[in-house]
Structure formats: structure tokens, C-alpha cells
Structure 1
């Protein structure tokens, strides 16, 4: 059996930090990431993968990486194994090779079609046309991951997050919190691993849990843009994996509540069906859509895989790239922050004006198939 102590002796790698170039951005990022590693069992694994990605960029060898991690790992609820650290490095290596291959050759036509679709506002009306089909059912049938309505919440969590990552599920704001400490305690209680959430919902009323954060969280206190402490601010993101896309309208269609204050069920279905046609076209174009969720209102949410390494890459790729194009086409630009909340399947919207109040998962794809 290979223990941590024996593995360090076996590797006997030279000190990594002394070998790195002083002006290497990747080396600086690697050093900072090593220093900020959480305790083992407390979001250690997703951070391990992030540090491995920095190591790959900085030209760190596998032996050096494993040695560094073993020396910097802070004791927590468990002890990471030699092979666990090795797998993280090799996964980063594989992901890097895959990214190069995709950039050079994989699905160039599909990627070009996706880019053309996302920026060409003249084609929007055609993309929203269901052509007489039930596109909501078609979207469900085309889902690579099969699920029933009852199992959908757990299936979604297991598809989006790693086993030891932390997800927020709850309301945007607590109803009855008298001070900041009470609010923080409320947030902390609603951040759990996928397994813990699945166990929690065995006894809890899932219909009351309306929102979830599309990206995993660190589980540690960060700061909002206003400087207030929070467990689910942008500064609390553990992995910049997904962005939320929402197109809150349909070209040529308008819906409004009737005299009773409720939107007609047929009118709302037609609107959602047109949105489903839209996202079917996006998926068929080759865009990396991981999930599509019916919000219980008039729009559908799409969770889009971006795989950013850090906030700087997010700002460049998502804010400066994807949303700089999509906002001009009418997409909701308020969705571009990494801690954005989407609607959690299984909950029911409290607004009375919607006749179709249930929030439902319509489409799900495993990240490994992107």
C-alpha cells in the first residue's frame, strides 16, 4: 500500500517552487493555488483539479505536482491518496489535449454553426418556430441522460457537480433574518454536497427550494460586490464551469395575464414550446448545452458549459465573449455572473399569474459527452 509518507520518499522530487520562472504567470498562479488549498474533505478535490490545470500550464511534471500537493495538503476529514492526486494531474493533461484537439479539428462545422447562430439575430424567428411539433416533449426525448420527474433533482445534481463539491439550493434571500449573522447561517445551511442534498430531500419539501447556483461553491465566506459577507457571492465560486443563458422572449409573440390575473395555459405553452424549439436548434448546432430547465414561467433556462479555469478567464470568455454577442441578440445579460441562480426542478413558483407553475428538468447531458 502506498502511503502519503512513502509516496513522498519515493518521489523525492526537487522543490518545485524554486525551479519555477519568476515571471511565469502560470507559475505564479500555481503557487497561489497551492497556498490556498482547502482542508482535505472540504472542497479539496475540485480545487485539486484546478491546481493540476495550473501545473499543466506551468510545465510542472507529474512527480513534482504530486510531491507539492502532498507537502501543501492541510489535514481535514480525510487523507488524499497518492493515486487520487495522480488522477487529478492526468485528468488535467487529458483535458488540455482534448481542448487542443477540439480547437484544431473536432466538430469545426458544428462550432462554426453555433457561433453563427449565436450572433445572427436575423435568424432568431426561424429558430423559434416549432413547425407544428411539440418541442418540449422532443427536447425531453432527445435528452442523453434519461430521468423521470421524481428523480430529476438528484440526477441533475450528480451530473453538474463532483461528489465532494458544494451546491447552494434555496431562496434568493431569506425571509426572516434579522441580521447578517443570521443570514449567513441561513446560507450555510443550504450549501451541501449532491449526496447530502439527495438525502435531505427524502424528508424535506422540495417544492419550497426554488433556486440553485449553477456553479459549485467553496463553502467559505466571501464578499459581494457591495462588500457584504456571503457564502454564495461570485467570490465563493469553486469552479467556473457553467454559465446560465436565458432568452426571455419569443420573436413575434407576446403573453400577458387575463382579467383574472393568470396567463392562459395554452398561451403559456405555445410560448414555452417556441423556446424549446430554440434550444433544440442550439443543441443541434453543437453548442455545449448541459441542461435545459423549464422555469415554471414563460422562459426556459439553459446551463451552458464554459469550463473556465478562474475568474479572469471567465471575464474574458463569458463576459467579454459569449455575452458581448448574446446581449445584442436580446439575451438577459444579468445572467453573466458565475454565482447566478437558476430554477431548481421539482419546486413550484409562487406567482399566481402562471398556470404552469412547476419547475422541470427537460434536457440533461453528461459533461463527459461534450
Structure 2
């Protein structure tokens, strides 16, 4: 995919790209759900009810670089190393989104792969969001409508070279429209929330 084709895709976003992070997440999660958020790799994950996200982001002393891609229970759970965390695997009752990222290919090729997945998965795992990581990758959020669709999407993505680590239900991924610690924006490129979260 050429840079011009990638730009043309971004122009098809049903939602504007410059909206606040809290508004983006409110379009992807229901108001009463909890989301897991984290400022840096070294900080502990926090939890916040979606309805309270505007105040959470306003009060944050530093950019919130990470968000869990599925709703969390709001309770602490045990991590693999025995610690406590709001984003432990047991704290994610169901996987809402599968985040696909391709680290080892040029950005234009990543867009091409995202659009290919969007086409083949449209009916069973619609694309909800695409953002730049603030680094070298594009992150795309798909919302599988069944366990079978989740498996099929993951299989197709891995065949295209996706990093399966991002598939984990409790994986913290880049939060849209927040500043990364390298000074680059984790920019929202395309947003089309899937019902009932729109």
C-alpha cells in the first residue's frame, strides 16, 4: 500500500481523529465498565470506570500510554509472578478486542495487511480502531463476534506476520491520542465503534 492509499484510508474514518482519549474509549466500552490504564512500563496499572475517564485523564500527572483492550473486572487479581494487578489475566472475564500489530515491516505494508484483514473479517470481526503506536507500528483493534471469529482472525493475522503477544486479553496496548515517552503521539487514525458501543 502506498502512502497515498494509507492517507485515503484514514480519510474514511467515520469519527474524527482529533477527539480526546476519554471520548475514544467511551465509544469502545460501555459507561459502567472498568478499563485498565497505565502511564509507563514502570508504573502500576490503574482502573477507571469508563464514565469517569474524562476526570481521570484530566487529573493524570503524565500521559496515559497504555490501555487494556478488553474490559476488566475492577478487582485486583494475581499475576503470574504472584503480584497483584488490575490487569491480571483473571481480571479480564471476556476478550472484547483483538489488537493486531506488525512490527517488522514498513508502515505502508502494515496498512495493507490491516486493510486485508478488515476485508476478510468484516462480517465476523469488524475493525473498530486503528492508531499509530508512536513508534514503528500500526495497531488495529478488531471486535470478533464469536470465539470462532477470534480464532480465525488470530490465525489469519499470524500468517500475515502479526505479533501474537498483542492478542492476549489482558495485554496493555497503546492508548489512542496520548503522548508516548519518546515524545511521539499515539495518534488515532481511524475509528468506527461496533454496536452496542457507539
Q: What TM-score, normalized by structure 1, do the two folds share?
A: 0.47
Taking only aligned residues, the RMSD between alpha carbons, in angstroms, comes to: 2.7
Structure 2 unmatched runs, 5+: none
Number of the residue aligned with 1:198: 54
Greater than 4 Å deviation, 4+ residue runs: none
Q: Residues 226 and 306 of structure 1: is their aligned pair in 2 closer, same or farther, counting only changes over 3 Å? A: farther
Q: Which has the higher helix share?
A: 1
Q: Give 1:37-76 correspondences, 5 Å limit.
A: none
Q: What TM-score, normalized by structure 2, do the two folds share?
A: 0.83
Q: Residues 274 and 328 of structure 1: is their aligned pair in 2 closer, same or farther, counting only changes over 3 Å? A: closer
Larger Rg: 1
Deviation of 1:224 (Å): 2.1
Number of the residue aligned with 2:163: 332
Number of the residue aligned with 1:139: 9
Instruction: Count the aligned residue pairs.
Output: 194
Number of the residue aligned with 2:190: 363
Deviation of 1:362 (Å): 0.8
Number of the residue aligned with 1:159: 27
Structure 1 unmatched runs, 5+: 1-128, 176-185, 251-270
Deviation of 1:292 (Å): 0.6
Highest RCO, 1 vs 2 (Cα 8 Å, sep ≥ 6): 2
Number of the residue aligned with 1:179: none
Q: Give 1:1-370 correspondences, 5 Å limit.
A: 129-130=1-2, 133-135=4-6, 137-144=7-14, 146-149=15-18, 151-171=19-39, 173-175=41-43, 186-187=44-45, 190-205=46-61, 208-250=63-105, 271-285=106-120, 286=122, 288-307=126-145, 313=147, 318=150, 321-351=152-182, 357-368=184-195
